Amino acid sequence: MRMLRPVAVALLLSSPAAFAADPAAALRAEADKRTAGLDGKLVEWRRDLHQNPELGNREVRTSAKVAAHLKALGIEVTALAKTGIKGVLKGGKPGPVVALRADMDALPVTEELDLPFKSTARADWGGREVGVMHACGHDAHVSMLMGAAEVLAGMRASLPGTVVFLFQPAEEGLPAGEEGGAELMVREGVLDNPKVDVVFGLHVFPMPTGTLGWRAGGIMASSDMLEIRVRGRQTHGAMPWAGADPIVAGAEIVLSLQSIVSREIDPTKSPAIVTIGSFQGGNRGNIVPDEVVMAGTVRTFDQDMREQIQKAIERRVQSVAAATGTTATVSWYGANPVTFNDPALTARMSPTLQRVAGALAVPDVRQTTTAEDFSYYQAKVPGLFAFLGVNPPGRTPEPNHSPRFYVDEAALPIGVRALTHLALDSLLPAK
Ligand SMILES: [Zn+2]
Ligand SMILES: [Zn+2]
């Protein structure tokens, strides 16, 4: 029932006199009325999506459902970036262009929740058969953005500007050799024509239902994956001097990389992480192998720091290789920039999120070291990404990607209010 309270409060506070003084308040009140009128649709859409999850770049059914919904609302629809959908809603009055984004893909996770609409889907993922589940809550994201589209399309004549709906595939990454996600959406011009001025996104997290959390600057980490190959020269384990040992060199590299954060980074500026999670080489105790291959990841919240750490890794890998008579290469892949909330936009929109969340607003939410490809939109235009709590009272929170990840559907209309209010308040000139 918590879900109904903010709507009721907004309606009570909105008198006709207040509307005349503040046209934005009139638009917001109308949006709230329309959101309340969505009735069970948000839940119905979300459950249908939850029961029919699709992996990245394979969101065929989801994408068709979204496209049909937008078309029925009279929104101009374009397909792009594999299974992506862009909807353009031109308001009746001139004004800026605001984009709202939802990601559509599910994860290779087998659902363990016992829900009436539990997913039993299975699919091929990189040559393996896997269970498929909306374990990151993207089903809620799609449902909320479909709801926001319905609300805003109903108010088209009074909208001072254009709203672009971005339904994006493959946020969670892809099997080797495929491209997709926000990076491909941007490359295919999703932010052009009409040229998007600002972009907003929400992500569900297991915070108390109805919480909205955001912060200026880096909110989610950049994520870069790296592979380090150290080439030595194979020899007998009893005669190491006759070769060059990539295992000893690799071990030195791992330790050296661990002192980048502690010795080269200013910890008062922003946190950073360097992890080597895989170390492969050799197959017998008495053979020095030819090669060691390591894989790892770097996380930062600051673009300069990200570049600084990448350079430090290259430098340290090369200097250890030179010192040990081996050769080494570093290759980078799977990059996501910092999910960086534009400070001016965040300051401007904070009152909006405060108003929607009320007592559950967390304007300086903690950073998370996970990453989001929403950052690709933010690298092009000012953007704001916020977290929506979906963990109901009395339930032990389960992290995103858990086979028991749970979405409290009472949060759905709150998410719609956040999206529609962000759009409306950013279309109207700042006071
Ligand atoms: Zn995820
Ligand atoms: Zn996600």
The predicted-structure confidence for 88-105, as pLDDT tens digits, reads as follows 999 999 999 999 999 999
Domain 222-335 = CATH 3.40.50.460:
no
- Cα of 401 vs centre of ligand 1, distance in Å, is 6
- Cα of 81 vs centre of ligand 1, distance in Å, is 19
Shortest-distance ligand to the CA of residue 203: 2
pTM over 0.75: yes
Q: What is the pLDDT of residue 16?
A: 55
Which H or E run includes 262?
A: helix 246-264
The predicted-structure confidence for 361-385, as pLDDT tens digits, reads as follows 999 999 999 999 999 999 999 999 9
What SS3 class is residue 93?
A: strand
- Cα of 138 vs centre of ligand 2, distance in Å, is 6
Shortest-distance ligand to the CA of residue 339: 2
Percentage with pLDDT > 90 across the chain: 91
Residue ranges with CB less than 5 Å from ion ligand 2:
136
Helix residue spans in 22-168 (DSSP H) = 23-36, 41-51, 60-72, 138-153
66 with 142: CB under 8 angstroms? yes
In the predicted structure, residue 65 carries a pLDDT above the cut 60? yes
- Cα of 341 vs centre of ligand 1, distance in Å, is 19
The predicted-structure confidence for 209-258, as pLDDT tens digits, reads as follows 999 999 999 999 999 999 999 999 999 999 999 999 999 999 999 999 99
* CA-closest candidate to residue 105, choices 82, 73, 88: 82
- Cα of 203 vs centre of ligand 2, distance in Å, is 7
414 with 388: CB under 8 angstroms? yes
Q: How far apart are CA 374 and CA 200, in angstroms?
A: 9
The predicted-structure confidence for 48-64, as pLDDT tens digits, reads as follows 999 999 999 999 999 99
Q: How far apart are CA 285 and CA 94, in angstroms?
A: 73
- Cα of 177 vs centre of ligand 1, distance in Å, is 20
- Cα of 129 vs centre of ligand 2, distance in Å, is 22
Q: What is the DSSP letter of 244?
A: B
Q: Domains of the chain: which residue ranges?
A: 4-218+338-427, 222-335
Shortest-distance ligand to the CA of residue 101: 2
Shortest-distance ligand to the CA of residue 137: 2
Lowest average pLDDT, out of 6-10, 122-126, 145-149, 195-199, goes to: 6-10
- Cα of 431 vs centre of ligand 2, distance in Å, is 34
**Mean pLDDT across the chain:** 94
Q: What is the pLDDT of residue 10?
A: 46
In the predicted structure, residue 430 carries a pLDDT above the cut 80? no
What's the one-letter identity of residue 246?
P
* CA-closest candidate to residue 401, choices 169, 203, 220: 203
pLDDT band at 21 (very low <50, low <70, confident <90, very high): low
195 with 382: CB under 8 angstroms? no
In the predicted structure, residue 3 carries a pLDDT above the cut 60? no
- Cα of 405 vs centre of ligand 1, distance in Å, is 11
Q: What is the pLDDT of residue 429?
A: 73
CA angle 166/384/297 to nearest 5° reads: 90
Q: What is the pLDDT of residue 19?
A: 62
Domain 4-218+338-427 = CATH 3.40.630.10:
yes
- Cα of 230 vs centre of ligand 2, distance in Å, is 34
- Cα of 38 vs centre of ligand 2, distance in Å, is 24
- Cα of 134 vs centre of ligand 2, distance in Å, is 9
Q: What is the pLDDT of residue 126?
A: 80
- Cα of 31 vs centre of ligand 2, distance in Å, is 26
Mind giving me the DSSP string for 164-194?
Answer: EEEEES-TT--STT---HHHHHHHTTTTTTT
pLDDT band at 5 (very low <50, low <70, confident <90, very high): very low
In the predicted structure, residue 431 carries a pLDDT above the cut 80? no
Average of pLDDT values for 295-319?
97
Shortest-distance ligand to the CA of residue 173: 1
Q: How far apart are CA 165 and CA 161, in angstroms?
A: 13
- Cα of 279 vs centre of ligand 2, distance in Å, is 28
Shortest-distance ligand to the CA of residue 399: 1
Q: What is the DSSP letter of 349?
A: H
- Cα of 22 vs centre of ligand 2, distance in Å, is 36
Q: What is the pLDDT of residue 15?
A: 53
Backbone angles phi, psi at 175, to 5 degrees: -65, 155
Shortest-distance ligand to the CA of residue 374: 2
Q: What is the pLDDT of residue 20?
A: 59
Q: What is the pLDDT of residue 408?
A: 98
In the predicted structure, residue 281 carries a pLDDT above the cut 90? yes
Shortest-distance ligand to the CA of residue 204: 2
Average of pLDDT values for 329-337?
95
What's the one-letter identity of residue 97?
V
378 with 199: CB under 8 angstroms? yes
Q: What is the pLDDT of residue 11?
A: 46
